[in-house]
Amino acid sequence: MEKKFPYTLIINYLEGTHIYQTMAQDELDAFSIWVNSINDKTYEGIDKTDSKNIIAKMENDPPQLISGALNCWCADIPNFKGNYLSINIVKTYEK
């Protein structure tokens, strides 16, 4: 079994900022866990059927390491249902 690390995802969509935390092997695993957790009540304007669109976008344009930052990635979908969706992924550490 591969070691898992804590990851924090900061999701900005519409007028809201949402925090999601999970244990994952890497940033792509953390992203996958997050997107598969989406249900119709999780975020305003994002429902379970949207997860397939988010996954398809990330397969073509995966999260990018943020230049000058350690263990931070950003994934943007500028025209997600006519709005801007930004997902920041941060590998965090337990105390």
> What digits encode the pLDDT tens for the residues 50-94?
888 888 888 888 999 999 999 999 999 888 888 899 999 999 987
How many secondary structure helices (H) and strands (E) does the chain include?
A: 2, 5
Instruction: Check: pTM over 0.85? Answer yes or no.
Output: yes
- pLDDT attached to residue 40: 65
Q: Where are the beta strands (DSSP E) in 14-93?
A: 16-24, 64-65, 72-80, 83-91
Under 8 Å between Cβ of 25 and 32: no
pLDDT tier, 45 (very low <50, low <70, confident <90, very high otherwise): confident
Given a cut of 80, is residue 30 above it in pLDDT?
yes
Structure tokens at 63: 């999260």
Please state, in angstroms and rounded to a whole number, the distance separating the CA atoms of residues 60 and 55.
9
Both tokens of 51, joined, read: 């997860």
**pLDDT band, residue 17 (cuts 50/70/90):** very high
pLDDT for 16 beyond 90: no
34: part of which helix (H) or strand (E)? Answer: helix 27-37
